[in-house]
Amino acid sequence: MIRVRNLHKTYKNGVKAVDGLSFKVKEGEIFALLGPNGSGKSTTINILLSLLTYDEGEVLVFGSEMKPSSYDKKKDIGLVSQEVAVFNELTVYENTDYFCSLYISDKEKRKELVMKALKLVGLEDYLKFKPKKLSGGLLRRLHIACGIAHEPKLIIFDEPTVGIDPQSRNHILEGIKTLNKEGATIIYTSHYMEEVEMISDYVLIMDHGKVVAEGTKEELKDMISLGETITVSVLNITDEFLKELKGLKGILETTTNKDKLTIKIKKNTTKIKDILALLEKHKLEYDEFHSLAPTLNDVFLELTGKELRD
């Protein structure tokens, strides 16, 4: 569906946004494109859509070069941007119909597609509402309906669930999975790792314009040093216990929050029984002992660093 080879983009201010980026998106998959702020994700997406020129490399969409004049390709692409963009003067139905009409001229066909899109996002009972009457979650659902009503083969979702309620978030994620089952290829960006974990088939993590890691969720988790994260409630944690705990083989990190102790352990090192034995040795009372396998959030933080940046 998409092939990018050795892509480079440097802005006039000297910022190198994309630096030798290469990847491919297979037809029919949900491809997650992840990275911290300033990693080059937005630049990459704008280049894929031919909204930005690039300095060097190759961008193939649907098997051939993507150009600003590639309208035959663009009609098969849907974009759901992070910023909501609808017309406040038009109703929910009129907004969706307008954006669909940019690609579909047949009114009867368009009516069918518009209602299908609005039903998918759960807005069939709000057809005559104007955007100012909608909650933030419903407004974002309208934004999605406008981007997918023409049934594109490729849909790019850029942070589609930012700042909305859990109910709307779940509705949107279920809708994305439905679109994928119906044949759409999805590119998905988000800072909510649990969403990516839930819906993606393949994940690419980029930083400083380059690929840091890519693979299935399981393959990425195998790349990092973290083996498991243990949380346990411990009464009266002592400095002596913490010092001895940190001395165990393979302890990557320990944190305490009141009576909650969190321990990150390197793969194939310290066993749970070693920690239990240490708790017994120091005669500490404990309960609610949990062991969690690595998550995509752990992968993201280990590969890109923990410091926030703009």
The CA distance from 176 to 108, in Å, is 25
Running DSSP on this structure, what letter comes out for residue 137? H
Span 13-48, pLDDT tens digits: 999 999 999 999 999 999 999 999 889 999 999 999
Do 2-221 and 225-293 agree at the fold level?
Answer: no
**Would you tell me how many other CB atoms lie within 10 Å of the CB of residue 45?**
18
Span 187-224, pLDDT tens digits: 999 989 999 999 999 999 999 999 999 999 999 999 99
**Would you tell me how many other CB atoms lie within 10 Å of the CB of residue 289?**
15
pLDDT value for 307: 66
Give the architecture (CATH level 2) of 225-293: 2-Layer Sandwich (3.30)
Element (H, E) at 160: none
Boundaries of every domain in the chain: 2-221, 225-293
pLDDT value for 164: 87
Q: Regarding the domain delimited by 2-221, which CATH topology (the fold level of the hierarchy) does it fall under?
A: Rossmann fold (3.40.50)
Answer yes or no: is pLDDT of 128 > 60: yes
Span 68-91, pLDDT tens digits: 888 899 999 999 999 999 999 999
